[in-house]
A and B are shown apart, each in its own frame.
Chain A
């Protein structure tokens, strides 16, 4: 089974044929594992409610390169927003990946959250184990899921792609798998 991957790099057509019958299998495995990673992280916080992110956005983030933005969320209503949005976001990202619904949107926000974890965990740890950390690899896997549009294999996005709404709003294709 040969699939022709049509793709470009630096202005050149570098399309290539791939004989890979396990492509779909791997997309689903990757989605399920990464999805469970985030669903678990989100549900854990809801099950141990209330969740308080102040140690991260106020404490750990201070002095890092993201401090000017992140510390704005360290108290008051902004902190309350983060306390809800982090577990809610993680749960929805995880669910989205597992059921393959709005997969690219979920993967984008997964990468968005990982950016904060990567820099704040890395910088507070002094990059003691180098700059390629598990957080960066997680971020890259989210980017890969978004690039491959992995939601249409055994996913709700396969159904969404055929709906009248998506047909009438082509930009939705950037959000689904």
Chain B
């Protein structure tokens, strides 16, 4: 277990933050401040969104990209310290 560098913090925490903002954060905003969203007979949520769905998509995508970048750079730059396990 080692301390994280700034770049790693951006990848891990920035990635998770964006993923959570895109899913939970914007989801809560839609519930609190969005239009009512009745569920249709087929289970579809029919309503206009407060935040454009493509903004939400890109937020989640950027979060996932940051997390993947963290994983790949970690593999490329940091061999595991404890090789006994």
**8 Å CB contact of A6 from B1, B4, B67, B80:** B1
Does A131 contact B56, Cβ atoms closer than 8 Å?
yes
| A131-B60 in contact given A8-B1, A10-B13, A11-B3 (Cβ < 8 Å) | yes
| A128-B83 in contact given A119-B57, A123-B57, A171-B75 (Cβ < 8 Å) | no
Give Cα A145 to B3, complex, Å: 23
Chain B residues, CB < 8 A from A46:
none
Does A131 contact B80, Cβ atoms closer than 8 Å?
no
Does A171 contact B45, Cβ atoms closer than 8 Å?
no
Does A131 contact B22, Cβ atoms closer than 8 Å?
yes
At the interface, yes or no: A65 with Cβ under 8 Å from chain B? yes
| A131-B79 in contact given A65-B58, A115-B64 (Cβ < 8 Å) | no
**8 Å CB contact of B61 from A7, A10, A119, A146:** A119
Does A174 contact B13, Cβ atoms closer than 8 Å?
no
Chain B residues, CB < 8 A from A65:
54, 57-58, 61
Give Cα A43 to B12, complex, Å: 34
At the interface, yes or no: B36 with Cβ under 8 Å from chain A? no
At the interface, yes or no: B43 with Cβ under 8 Å from chain A? yes
Report the nearest A residue to B24, measured CB to CB.
Answer: A132
Does B22 contact A173, Cβ atoms closer than 8 Å?
no
**Contact residues, A1-33 vs B (CB, 8 A):** 6-8, 10-11, 13
At the interface, yes or no: A76 with Cβ under 8 Å from chain B? no
Query: Which of B3, B58, B64 is packed against the most chain A CB atoms within 10 Å?
Result: B64
Q: Kindly provide the distance from the CB of B46 to the nearest chain A CB, expressed in whole angstroms.
A: 8
Report the nearest B residue to A131, measured CB to CB.
Answer: B23
Q: Kindly provide the distance from the CB of B69 to the nearest chain A CB, expressed in whole angstroms.
A: 12
Report the nearest A residue to B4, measured CB to CB.
Answer: A11
At the interface, yes or no: A50 with Cβ under 8 Å from chain B? no
Residue numbers of B with Cβ under 8 A of A are 1, 3-4, 13, 22-23, 26-27, 43-45, 53-54, 56-58, 60-61, 64, 67-68, 71, 74-75, 79-80, 83
In the complex, 13 of the A-B residue pairs with CB atoms within 8 angstroms, ordered by the A residue number, are A11-B3, A111-B68, A112-B68, A115-B64, A122-B57, A126-B53, A128-B45, A131-B23, A131-B26, A131-B56, A131-B57, A170-B83, A173-B80
Closest 10 CB pairs of A and B: A170-B79, A128-B44, A174-B75, A65-B57, A170-B83, A173-B80, A171-B79, A170-B80, A127-B53, A8-B1
